[in-house]
Structure 1
Amino acid sequence: MSGLRTFEPFDLPGMYDVCLRTGDSGRDATGLYTDPHLLGHVYAGPYPVADPGLTIVHVDELGLGGYVVGTADTLAFEEWLEAAWWPALRAQYPRSLAADPRDGTQDWERVAHLHDVRVTPDELYERYPAHLHVDLLPRCQGAGVGRRLIAELVARLEERGVPGLHLGVGSGNPGARAFYERVGFTSVRDADWGSTMVMDLR
């Protein structure tokens, strides 16, 4: 049946596929990675493991076409990553793989990230502790699916009494920034890499 539903464990392969096929600022990143799972290990996989109730998928007749993943408490999620998620990945992808092969692939950047990322408190988390990532294949874009995914996640965060939500959007994806503005996010920080945007849930 087409539509939105809460994550089930069998959704992970489809989520990893969507993550890869939208991983270049919304464009297909398949040609940028020799390991097709690496991007998903970093940006999709940990969320439903940590809190499956805040991962929502969109399924149509062709399969899983999009998802939103989120956490209600970013700092607690970062602490969980450090304790429960990164150690196994650091063993699987040793730091020696974080050297640029100069062939245009980006695996090395993700490996460097998973070794170098640290728990980083931020005053923003006091007012906007939750964060999300939403990814949609082209066939699911422009039909309101992204808006519905975010609305469902927001409703679940509100049920938990979460006061606010934030996300990051890269400077190479102006269409995504415009979309987030339309669904109620505002920019509070701009940098060379992109913008941090927030939504008040109180």
Structure 2
Amino acid sequence: MSGPAQGPASGPLVRETGGPAVTIRPYQPFDLPGIYRVCLATGDSGRDAGPLHANPDLLGHVWAGPYPVADPGLTFVAADALGVAGYVLATADTVAFEAWRQEHWWPVLREQYPAELATDPGDGMIDWLSVAHLHRAAPPAEELYERYPAHLHIDLLPRAQGRGLGRALIGALFGALRARGVPGLHLGVGSGNPGAHAFYLRMGFTELRRGDWGSTMVIDLG
């Protein structure tokens, strides 16, 4: 994999002035708890997943935490006076990233959350789905990774939405990926989030394929 990036640059990349001031800047290690909070607060197809999770950390462990740990130079945050209000996080090489998670990320989590917890307790909580995911996660085999090796996750709290911050975050990420010579990027959009699908189309993504779960979307960065 690309390996941990060199230290993030200091200072804001973008200063958003519509409403309370929001700074878009490279990730810093102290942002990680805020990233976990945003991940949970947007984890139900953009809605608050907190009521569905007894453990507030599990979603972050699966969908957010490994990215800035593995490669901090490809995570950018939108921060205001209340903390992290949104983020984009990515890997430049999906196959290498998944191999890294198999060696460095999943083993400890699998010890902490054993497979027997991956069973629906019937109480309405869905932590068990995250446990099931971290136990079955395996390096993928996809032809699209040759042309579109990078992938991203982006989430914004309601207070940061509708202000152009999503576009600015992705713009910062695209710049970092192009600087590394990454040819393309893919992502998945769940069928329950049509607003995100429309947003990515506006950003220049195209839909490569569609399934019952949602859409695989891609963009060339060259």
The TM tier, using the shorter chain, reads: over 0.9
Amino acid at match of 2:141: P
Which residue matches 1:189?
A: 209
Task: Note if 1:51 corresponds to 2:68.
Answer: no
Amino acid at match of 1:41: H
Which residue matches 1:88?
A: 108
TM-score calculated relative to the size of structure 2: 0.90
2:126 to 88, 92, 106: 106
Aligned-residue identity in percent: 66
Query: What is the CA–CA distance in structure 2 between the aligned matches of 1:189 and 1:107, rounded to whole Å?
Result: 29
**SS of equivalent to 1:67:** strand
Task: Note if 1:141 corresponds to 2:161.
Answer: yes
Task: Note if 1:132 corresponds to 2:157.
Answer: no
**SS of equivalent to 1:153:** helix
Which residue matches 1:25?
A: 45
Amino acid at match of 1:149: L
TM-score calculated relative to the size of structure 1: 0.98
**What CA deviation, in whole Å up to 9, does each residue of 1:95-130 have, x standing for no partner?**
010010112111001100000111112100000000
Query: What is the CA–CA distance in structure 2 between the aligned matches of 1:130 and 1:137, rounded to whole Å?
Result: 24
Query: What is the CA–CA distance in structure 2 between the aligned matches of 1:145 and 1:16, rounded to whole Å?
Result: 19
Query: What is the CA–CA distance in structure 1 between the aligned matches of 2:81 and 2:133, rounded to whole Å?
Result: 35
**SS of equivalent to 2:25:** strand
User: Runs of 5+ in structure 1 lacking a partner?
Assistant: none
Query: What is the CA–CA distance in structure 1 between the aligned matches of 2:56 and 2:35, rounded to whole Å?
Result: 12
**SS of equivalent to 2:96:** helix
Which residue matches 2:10?
A: none
**Which portions of structure 1, spanning 4 or more consecutive aligned residues, are displaced by more than 4 angstroms?**
none
1:152 to 172, 177, 186: 172
User: Runs of 5+ in structure 2 lacking a partner?
Assistant: 1-20
- Give the number of aligned pairs: 202
Query: What is the CA–CA distance in structure 2 between the aligned matches of 1:9 and 1:156, rounded to whole Å?
Result: 18
Q: How does 1:143-182 map to 2 (within 5 A)?
A: 143-182=163-202
Higher-helix-fraction structure: 1
CA apart distance, 1:2? 3.4
Which residue matches 1:63?
A: 83
Aligned Cα RMSD in Å?
Answer: 0.8
Which residue matches 2:62?
A: 42
